[in-house]
Amino acid sequence: MAPPPAGLVLVALLALVLALALAPAPARGDKPARGGASSSIAAGAETEPSSAVFPLYGDVYPHGLYYVAMNIGNPPKPYFLDVDSGSDLTWLQCDAPCRSCNEVPHPLYRPTKSKLVPCVHRLCASLHNGLTGKHRCDSPHEQCDYVIKYADQGSSTGVLINDSFALRLTNGSVARPSVAFGCGYDQQVRSGDLSSPTDGVLGLGTGSVSLLSQLKQRGVTKNVVGHCLSLRGGGFLFFGDDLVPYQRATWTPMARSAFRNYYSPGSASLYFGDRSLGVRLAKVVFDSGSSFTYFAAKPYQALVTALKDGLSRTLEEEPDTSLPLCWKGQEPFKSVLDVRKEFKSLVLNFASGKKTLMEIPPENYLIVTENGNACLGILNGSEIGLKDLSIIGDITMQDHMVIYDNEKGKIGWIRAPCDRAPNDINTVHGFEEGYCWPQFLPGIIGLPNEDCPAYYRSNKERFAKAQGGGR
């Protein structure tokens, strides 16, 4: 039997500016491929960029994160990385040696001196500018040190290194590009929990140190990334545009945010059912590194008031250790499907010229806890210091394919059954052999990677059926 979770994991991976006193001047050359630096390099590759697809593990509740297995180093070794569209830097807990590391699923990554990226490198400048608005490099031989701090108060101190990632592409090839990423040797976590379900973070933001910007530079994939997080846990992640349903998805231009390499469609007005709440979310950010959604103080207040006013009598407010605002019914709820009828949908209307709506049905803002209560999965961003930012987190993006297209400068979304295999037959090659498809096999979320190949072999037929079974 699984032990009861000690408390809810509130992961909010959104890189924050460290020195708030510093004017966060954006580095001009730091924006990704939108007509920028990388086109000249891509011209060096004779072949078309391809795509890659990866299964995801994890869920919103109770695990609080979605993660991917990546093969890194030479020879490649697997690591679990928290999928984070709210920050640029990919990093691993690292034996540099380690000053403060958590208990992680795999042996610590061991860097060598020859793999250090010098601080004069443009990627180091991009990293520093993205984190503090200021690049410091006193001598050309210096290494590239950094500190990254997240919205949940966690932080990682490390040094930028360069090693290969092994990616199975949808065209059948395996690419082993060298990319720069962080070797984190001093991690501070907010809670006292010293064990971490992941070895590090996969940074997918818009800056040039982001993994996708680097893959684009190497001619491996286009600078397009998307995820499909299943309500039932698992899902998939993809790089490149082979899977993107350009015609069917809803698209909104990325706002040229004055600072940070966030994915933001700008501002949105908020509706509850068909009623306007008369408030705007000033700066909306799509952040897969955050398990829950956060609204700035004013829209949060408006939402809570509207929810409480519209609630049926069968629901009663009930304290629950999981989240600040919960309700119980006459019987404990088993799933969010038992309670969705009692709640209305939220709608965000992105002000980008024409009407661009995102509907958020109850299952995309509520969770049902192990106590059988329904809790609001939209939290007060002021409490974690987000000011005017509002974060669209995993709970709200579940069962949507969400696409960050840095080539066209657009963000898109479309409802999708994320527990199904992506239906393009080519993409099946994208899954590294031996990795599990947790979404088809209930109960193995977070299965240790080592167990996966054996599990895969013993269930080969079921996997084959599951993969062929996608529409």
Ligand X SMILES: *[C@@H]1O[C@H](CO)[C@@H](O)[C@H](O)[C@H]1NC(C)=O
Residues taking part in catalysis: 84, 287
Terminal C-alpha separation, the chain = 35
Least gap, CB of 117 to ligand X (angstroms) = 4
Q: Which stretch binds ligand X (CB under 6 A): 201-209, 264-272, 286-294, 375-383?
A: 375-383
Residues in binding contact with ligand X, number by CB under 6 A: 25
Q: How far apart are CA 73 and CA 80, in angstroms?
A: 14
Omega within 30 of 0 (cis) for the link into 245: no
Instruction: Compose the 25-54 pattern: x for residues touching ligand X by CB under 6 A, - for all others.
Output: --------------------x-xxxx----
Q: Which is nearer to ligand X, 220 or 323 (CB)?
A: 220
The answer to whether 362 and 343 are in contact (CB under 8 A) is yes
Q: Which structure tokens are listed for 71? A: 């093969």
Least gap, CB of 305 to ligand X (angstroms) = 8
Instruction: Compose the 268-307 pattern: x for residues touching ligand X by CB under 6 A, - for all others.
Output: -----------------------------x--xx--x---
Least gap, CB of 314 to ligand X (angstroms) = 24
Q: Which is nearer to ligand X, 222 or 420 (CB)?
A: 222
Instruction: Compose the 216-255 pattern: x for residues touching ligand X by CB under 6 A, - for all others.
Output: ---xx-----------------------------------
Binding residues for ligand X restricted to 383-412, rule: CB under 6 A? 383
Task: Choose which of 14, 56, 70, 123 interacts with ligand X (CB under 6 A).
Answer: 123
Q: How far apart are CA 131 and CA 125, in angstroms?
A: 10
Q: Which stretch binds ligand X (CB under 6 A): 2-10, 33-41, 115-123, 128-136?
A: 115-123
3-state helix, strand, coil in the chain (%, to 5): 20, 35, 50
**What is the residue type of 264?**
S
Least gap, CB of 6 to ligand X (angstroms) = 24
The residues, ordered by sequence, that sit 6+ positions from 247 with a Cβ below 8 Å of its Cβ are: none
DSSP secondary structure of 391-419? EE-HHHHBTEEEEEETTTTEEEEEE--TT
Name which of 424, 453, 411 is nearest 252 in CA terms: 411
Binding residues for ligand X restricted to 166-185, rule: CB under 6 A? 169, 171-173, 175, 178, 180
Q: How far apart are CA 348 and CA 90, in angstroms?
A: 30
Q: Is 234 left (phi over 0), alpha (psi -120 to 50) or beta?
A: left
Give the E-state strand segments of 45-126 in sequence order. 52-59, 65-72, 77-84, 91-93
SS3 state at 84:
strand
Q: Which is nearer to ligand X, 102 or 382 (CB)?
A: 382
Least gap, CB of 170 to ligand X (angstroms) = 8
Least gap, CB of 337 to ligand X (angstroms) = 28
Tell me which residues touch ligand X (CB under 6 A): 45, 47-50, 117, 121, 123, 162, 169, 171-173, 175, 178, 180, 219-220, 297, 300-301, 304, 380, 382-383
